[in-house]
Amino acid sequence: MEILYPKYYKKFSCIAAACPDSCCQEWDVDVDPESAQYYRSLQGPLGDRLRQVLQDTEDGTVMVIEDRRCPMWRQDGLCQIQAELGHQALCQVCREFPRLRHDYGDFMELGLELSCPEAARLILSDEDRDWIAETTAESGEAEYDSETMASLLRSRREFSAFLDTTSLSVPEILTVLLLYAHDVQEELDGGATAVLQPTQNLADGILFAKQSHSVPLQEFFLGLEILTPRWEQRLQQPSATPDWNGQYKLLLRYFISRYWLQAVSDYDLLCRVKLMIAACILIGHLGGNLQETSQLFSKEIENNPDNVEAILDGAYTASALTDLNLLGLLLN
Ligand code: SF4
């Protein structure tokens, strides 16, 4: 099986006590059934504590946070389970975070989640953006429609090559992306093969763009589930003028690697591209340090499947996410 991952993937190492926003706070931890059973079987004070903090819900077992922190987080910043039983005793989510795995049956793509500050630092640093391909002895069957996957792989490759070499500004690149995504969507729906035409795509975008304001976009995100007060405060702040520096191309590259091929599951690329574009625009308008703002965005949005679903649905229904509004925000 072929396994692909960005060069920075293997460089990741948790910075633990130096982390500015630990993954051990603010989230309830989903505990896989095997770990939950093991934790409940433990003897002594650790087992007693785990039996106390594990809760069964209709979606599975969770470790419920107390005072906005994981109850197993010790005062010295270490995890009590890891300290007493070792890394392998962690439940699956804690063992794997922030590693992402997209398994398509006969090939797999790995990545890191932007919601971890250390991963965000690696994702948004330019030096390790190349991809590595490894072949393992394992083999698997393709779990997708091969024609759809071929279209998605080709179009992603085409757009990524453009992203690597273009001298267009970030808003212009996002405009080309939106128009190109319409063409790729048409291809997925049975139409002609999409051809990336940056000059034409940009001219079309300029033609359609209307005067827009970022307030409806911020209000749309305020209507989603909110985890932390600081995210709510950021969304309520007046919009900043985006500083569209080159780091946004790295951010876009991350979104493309995370979402483009997922369209193979439901043949819908356009709503995912709108998610990427809305994310870049929102992060730009929230201002502040790009790494910190995009990490918070990811923690609030990408790590909450309900929020991701609401954006994918909203791509076709929410006025803040119409093509005209997005183009207006990019080009005016
Ligand atoms: S968010 Fe990342 S760096 Fe911070 S504690 Fe968790 S894994 Fe480590």
Count of C-beta atoms within a 10 Å radius of residue 134: 11
Q: Is the CB of 118 under 6 A from ligand 1?
A: yes
pLDDT at residue number 128: 67
Higher pLDDT, 215 or 298: 298
pLDDT beyond 70 at 154: yes
pLDDT at residue number 26: 84
Q: Encode pLDDT of 225-249 as tens digits.
A: 999 999 999 999 988 899 999 999 9
Question: Which of 118, 228, 302 has the most ligand 1 atoms within 8 A of CB, as the residue to mutate?
Answer: 118
Q: Which residues pair with 108 in a beta bridge?
A: 3, 103
Q: Is the CB of 98 under 6 A from ligand 1?
A: yes
Dmax over CA atoms of the chain, in Å, equals 69
Atom of ligand 1 nearest to the CA of 15: 3
Q: Is the CB of 113 under 6 A from ligand 1?
A: no
Question: Which of 8, 9, 15 has the most ligand 1 atoms within 8 A of CB, as the residue to mutate?
Answer: 15
Q: Encode pLDDT of 111-153 as tens digits.
A: 999 999 999 999 999 766 789 999 998 888 999 999 999 999 9
Atom of ligand 1 nearest to the CA of 97: 7
pLDDT beyond 80 at 164: yes
pLDDT at residue number 17: 78
pTM for this prediction:
0.92
Q: Encode pLDDT of 45-73 as tens digits.
A: 999 999 999 999 998 999 888 888 889 98
